[in-house]
């Protein structure tokens, strides 16, 4: 059964379905609602379905407090549901489940069968090659990647990654979606980690290893990176924002597909994930929230 949160109805012609009500799915849904889109947020987990509308509303409140959304903005319509069928038809679908290839493949296959070849099927992957994700779906020509950063309402630029079989129709539909969301898409080539994760995850992993080796605290690593090298938040606060479990999964993908030892997840990172310290979303990572 669908649970609805209709903050303000704007009657947008654009219907966006987001599959996965984790940190990024909620963030992308909040961005869509804040821009007046009709958003359906889908998750099989009853607990996530129960809390998702409140979490989206909280993201929008934060966006308004930070000036990323006008206080009097006309909001779109949000429906939260456990059934993918409630999100069909749609003008675009964003898959935002965990960064585990097998899980993304399973979900993308299900979505592709439900929406057909004419709807852009967008994976919010941070590291898995698009051609790999599209390999087993019924309509690979509809699949492409868009890497939204967290929080999606605050970061206006995204990576857009067409695969080798992505159609011009899918690219055009994804471009229209980004325009409606007020986001600038930078088109990059397919491959493990694309640009941002390929560069940033190696640095974050090295920062974790420095802490693991006892050469500096998390606070001091971040302070040096902020004040000496201009990193806005510091690599370890960024890791907590990404989610340490998601970071570990992404690093595993990069390591397995490149063979580069610098991407092998640091032991300290793996211990924190095993202990349930996943960053901001769990209340504790390299920092306590």
Is 139 domain-assigned? yes
Residue 68 backbone zone (phi > 0: left; psi -120 to 50: alpha; other: beta): alpha
Handedness of CA 130, 48, 251, 193 (dihedral sign): positive
**Is there a single domain that holds both residue 201 and residue 168?**
no
Return the axis-axis angle of helices 196-212 and 244-258, rounded to nearest 10°. Answer: 110
Q: What's the 3-state SS for 36-79?
A: CCEEEEECCCHHHHHHHHHHHHHHHHHHHHCCCCCCCCCCCEEE
Number of domains in the chain: 2
Kind and range of the H or E element at 247? helix 244-258
- List 145's β-bridge partners, or say none: 123, 161
CATH number of the domain residue 224 falls in: 1.10.1040.10
Q: Could you tell me if 286 and 211 are in contact, meaning their C-beta atoms sit under 8 angstroms apart?
A: yes
Does the pLDDT value for residue 8 go beyond 90?
A: no
Per-residue model confidence as pLDDT tens digits over 12-36: 469 999 999 999 999 999 999 999 9
- Strand 38-42 and strand 77-81: the pairing is parallel
**Is there a single domain that holds both residue 157 and residue 179?**
yes
Is 289 domain-assigned? no
Per-residue model confidence as pLDDT tens digits over 49-61: 999 999 999 999 9
pTM over 0.75: yes
Is 288 domain-assigned? no
Could you give the CA distance from residue 150 to residue 240 in angstroms, rounded to a whole number?
A: 11
**Is there a single domain that holds both residue 90 and residue 18?**
yes
Handedness of CA 275, 281, 286, 287 (dihedral sign): negative
Does the pLDDT value for residue 191 go beyond 90?
A: yes
Q: Last residue of some domain: 157, 187, 217? A: 187
The range of the structural domain enclosing residue 66 comes to 3-187
**Is there a single domain that holds both residue 108 and residue 208?**
no
**Is there a single domain that holds both residue 225 and residue 258?**
yes
**Is there a single domain that holds both residue 43 and residue 133?**
yes
**Is there a single domain that holds both residue 146 and residue 205?**
no
Is 206 domain-assigned? yes
φ, ψ dihedrals at 204, nearest 5°: -65, -45
Is 8 domain-assigned? yes
Place of tokens 């971040």: 222
**Is there a single domain that holds both residue 182 and residue 204?**
no
**Is there a single domain that holds both residue 167 and residue 137?**
yes
pLDDT of residue 6: 41
Confidence of residue 65 (pLDDT cuts 50, 70, 90): very high
Q: How large is the average pLDDT for residues 124-148?
A: 97
Q: Could you tell me if 280 and 155 are in contact, meaning their C-beta atoms sit under 8 angstroms apart?
A: no
Which two structure tokens, joined as six digits, stand for 127? 């590291």
Does the pLDDT value for residue 1 go beyond 70?
A: no
Confidence of residue 227 (pLDDT cuts 50, 70, 90): very high
Q: Last residue of some domain: 187, 213, 248? A: 187
**Is there a single domain that holds both residue 123 and residue 200?**
no
Q: Last residue of some domain: 142, 165, 187? A: 187
Is 286 domain-assigned? no
CATH number of the domain residue 159 falls in: 3.40.50.720
pLDDT of residue 13: 66
**Is there a single domain that holds both residue 170 and residue 244?**
no
Is 75 domain-assigned? yes
Is 287 domain-assigned? no
**Is there a single domain that holds both residue 207 and residue 176?**
no
């Amino acid at each position: 059964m669908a649970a609805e949160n209709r903050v303000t109805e704007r009657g947008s012609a654009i219907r966006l379905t987001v599959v996965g009500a984790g940190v990024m799915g909620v963030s992308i849904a909040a961005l869509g609602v804040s821009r007046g889109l009709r958003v359906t947020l889908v998750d099989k987990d009853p607990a996530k379905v129960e809390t998702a509308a409140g979490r989206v509303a909280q993201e929008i409140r934060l966006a308004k407090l930070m000036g990323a959304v006008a206080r009097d903005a006309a909001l779109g319509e949000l429906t939260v549901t456990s059934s993918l069928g409630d999100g069909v038809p749609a003008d675009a679908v964003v898959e935002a489940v965990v960064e585990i290839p097998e899980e993304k493949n399973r979900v993308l296959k299900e979505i592709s069968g439900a929406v057909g070849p004419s709807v852009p099927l967008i994976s919010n992957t941070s590291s898995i090659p698009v051609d790999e994700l599209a390999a087993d779906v019924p309509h690979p020509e509809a699949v492409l990647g868009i890497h939204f950063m967290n929080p999606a309402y605050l970061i206006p630029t995204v990576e857009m990654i067409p695969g080798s079989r992505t159609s011009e129709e899918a690219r055009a539909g994804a471009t229209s979606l980004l325009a409606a969301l007020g986001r600038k898409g930078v088109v990059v080539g397919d491959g493990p980690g694309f640009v941002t994760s390929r560069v940033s995850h190696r640095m974050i992993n090295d920062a974790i290893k420095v802490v693991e080796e006892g050469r500096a605290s998390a606070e001091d690593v971040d302070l040096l990176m902020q004040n000496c090298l201009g990193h806005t938040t510091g690599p370890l606060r960024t890791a907590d924002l990404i989610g340490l479990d998601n970071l570990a999964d992404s690093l595993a993908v990069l390591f397995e597909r490149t063979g580069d030892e610098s991407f092998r997840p640091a032991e300290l990172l793996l211990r924190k994930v095993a202990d349930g310290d996943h960053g901001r979303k769990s209340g504790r990572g390299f920092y306590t929230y």
